[in-house]
Amino acid sequence: MKFSIFAAAAALAGTAFGTDAVQGAAEGFAKGVTGGGSATPVYPSTTAQLISYLADSSPRVIVLTKTFDFTGTEGTATSAGCAPWGTASACQKAINKDGWCDNYQPNAPKVTGIKYDKAGVLGMTVGSNKSLIGQGSKGVIKGKGVRIVSSAKNIIIQNVRFTDINPEYVWGGDAITIDGADLVWIDHVTTDLIARQHIVLGNSASNRVTISNNEINGASSWSATCDGRHYWGLYFTGSSDMVTFKNNYIHHTSGRSPKVAGNTLLHAVNNYFYAIAHAFEADSGSKILAEGNVFQNVDAPAQTGLPGQVFASGSATTNTQCKTYLGHNCEMNAYGSSGTLAGSDTSFLSNFKGKNIASASTAAVAKNVVNTAGYGRL
């Protein structure tokens, strides 16, 4: 009997401090992030407890062992809205948030009786020094996202799925919001059926961010392009942001995959883009280095006519210029049944000098991302 009790205790300890701990380490700009560090893991059992653990001032390792369903926890709302992209059943409609329909879509058909879940509109606040970890494939948050804002720093979200946040309606909520933060690592996360942005970096500086090994799943019955592909995917528009975007699987989106603006330095490396209308939107202030990526069935790897700076690893000659600033020659991107990504601007590569830079593999390696990205695949 004593042996059995001892063995059970040892097994429990192994679960708490072994598999229920952050796996690996962040590459790139957020290198060195520790999240909750060595804090004793906590296991929330209710949505209220999860909210409390995320928001408090203590370092936390928060382990999710089930689905946390926020649907109905804050009630529902019914409002007017509009249908800027048409009234067909496959088209998203928009909630008239802060008068958006009135101010920006005055000629769009009006819609009444939009009923949505209030919990989805605003994500849970995440305080500094937190690790949010899913156990195996059990860590699911339904109907609500998270917000890393107001100078929060040193945060890890790993092996979690965010899903079913008012997907019928634009302005119904985002999955992950980062705005005015630093040292954030989003890893092995899956996002699907989201109202608006899957991941958004707001206008305030988010500083050092690494987004790695995630699945951004845009397949939906409702979209702004009315074609089963979500438009509002990834929006990196912060002030003085440095974003490492590596080993992600982005699929079935129609745009913003990602949109980059503000003053954002983006290292997009070894990602797999699939079944997308257009991927990059390089808007004003963006500085994008894209290397070793795969574009498969992507109509246009970038929206044309935008003023952002892009270096797209176009030739072996220009790729050697990366070594001075990144420590390696840039890797060629690869294309299958796709357009090609244009951009030969090397003038901003000096911005990478002295920073923590993620390693790069050939695009052939990136093809395996579809088998490794997302939650439940650590």
The dihedrals phi and psi of 218, each to the nearest 5 degrees, come to -90, 0
Instruction: Using alpha carbons, list the distances in angstroms from residue 197 to 21, 69, 121, 303.
Output: 28, 19, 11, 18
Measured distance CA(372)–CA(178) in Å, rounded: 24
Contact (Cβ atoms closer than 8 angstroms) between residue 50 and residue 62: yes
d(CA 303, CA 60): 41
What token pair was written down for 103? 């101010």
DSSP conformational letter for 15: I
Q: What is the DSSP letter of 263?
A: T
Cα(35)–Cα(33) distance, integer angstroms = 6
Cα distance between residue 271 and residue 373, in whole Å: 10
147 included as an active-site residue = no
> Which DSSP letter does residue 62 get?
E
Polymer length of the chain: 378
Tell me: cis bond preceding 258? Omega within 30 of 0 counts.
yes
CA 175 to chain centre: 8
Which single residue is written with the structure tokens 């440095």? Answer: 242
d(CA 264, CA 238): 6
CB distance 308 to 339 below 8 Å: no
- Alpha-carbon torsion 244, 377, 233, 56, what sign? negative
Contacts of 3 (CB under 8 A, 6+ apart): none
Query: Measured between alpha carbons, how far is residue 215 from residues 159, 186, 267, 354 in Å?
Result: 11, 11, 17, 30
Q: Which residues are tagged catalytic? A: 256
